[in-house]
């Protein structure tokens, strides 16, 4: 079964410097029917104004993935990391037993558009960790590029053989850039579920039309086929 979750059905936080759309309950937005999907707990589609951002705040016991679509996002954390995340780069944090960080748009003129995703970890109280990596655009052109994985054999951030960043969740996170008329197939193993999030453009997922900002939950369907209607970028979560 494939269930479409329209972009306009998401919750929203709209203040002078932040326009954020929430696929699942977050902050002041609460929908008992949308508390997450499998290990997925948060998918936030954020636009942050120039020179603005999130001050230092704490997280615990969550795997946090950030992906910038346009602009740049400066990051600082209590582990001593200070990096700037740009399009094509993926950042992961294991909040574990506690981490503090800040996120800021360093541009004086341009907004930053990003997705931030939270996944529930396999276990609580893990050692906090940070990873960031730039992924080649050619690696996701009309195909699925695995950018983060909870492969059981992983032994730390960045340890996956295909270069995917490691997360402490039984999940794979993949991104594809799909041209109009092109198709990208994906097969789920037995018992797995998926969430598909359209970051840009329009696609069809097994014939179901999805537009920018739409999500789709997938249960009891093994073979997925995503077809580009216009130039599109799609994120897929393969979940236990």
User: In the chain, where are the structural domains located?
Assistant: 2-239
129: tokens are 């960790």
Assess contact for 11 and 22: CB atoms under 8 A.
Answer: yes
Give the strand pairing for 11-14 and 18-22.
antiparallel
- CATH number of the domain at 2-239, please? 2.60.120.10
pLDDT in tens, 177-189: 999 999 999 999 9
- pTM for the whole thing? 0.95
pLDDT at 158: 47
Report how far residue 218's alpha carbon sits from residue 43's, in angstroms, rounded to the nearest whole number: 16
pLDDT score of 151: 62
Residue 80: burial class (beta carbons within 10 Å; 0-12, 13-18, 19+): exposed
Q: 161 pLDDT exceeds 90?
A: no
Selected residue with higher pLDDT from 157 and 127: 127
Q: pLDDT, tens digit, for every residue of 23-52?
A: 999 999 999 999 999 999 999 999 999 999
Residue 156: per-residue pLDDT? 45
Quick check: 148 pLDDT over 70?
Answer: yes
Give Cβ neighbours of residue 183 (< 8 Å, ≥ 6 apart): 142, 225, 226, 227, 228
pLDDT for res 162: 82
Mean pLDDT of the chain: 95
Digit-coded pLDDT (tens) for 56-67: 999 999 999 999
209-239: per-residue pLDDT in tens?
999 999 999 999 999 999 999 999 999 999 9
């Amino acid at each position: 079964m494939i269930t479409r979750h329209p972009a306009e059905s998401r919750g929203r936080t709209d203040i002078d410097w932040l326009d954020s759309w929430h696929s699942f309950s977050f902050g002041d937005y609460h929908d008992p029917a949308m508390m997450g999907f499998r290990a997925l707990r948060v998918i936030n589609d954020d636009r942050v104004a120039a020179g603005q951002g999130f001050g230092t705040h704490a997280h615990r016991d969550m795997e946090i993935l950030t992906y910038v679509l346009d602009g740049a996002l400066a990051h600082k954390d209590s582990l001593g990391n200070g990096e700037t995340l740009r399009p094509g780069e993926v950042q992961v944090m294991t909040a574990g037993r506690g981490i503090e960080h800040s996120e800021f748009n360093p541009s004086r003129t341009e907004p930053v558009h990003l997705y931030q995703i939270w996944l529930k970890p396999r276990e609580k109280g893990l050692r906090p960790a940070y990873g960031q990596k730039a992924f080649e655009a050619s690696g996701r052109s009309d195909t699925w590029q695995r950018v983060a994985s909870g492969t059981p054999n992983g032994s730390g951030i960045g340890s996956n053989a295909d270069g995917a960043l490691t997360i402490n969740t039984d999940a794979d996170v993949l991104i594809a850039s799909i041209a109009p008329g092109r198709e990208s197939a994906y097969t789920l193993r037995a018992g797995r579920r998926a969430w598909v999030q359209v970051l840009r453009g329009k696609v069809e997922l097994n014939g179901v039309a999805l537009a920018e900002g739409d999500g789709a939950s997938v249960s009891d369907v093994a073979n997925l086929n995503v077809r580009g209607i216009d130039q599109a970028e799609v994120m897929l979560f393969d979940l236990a």
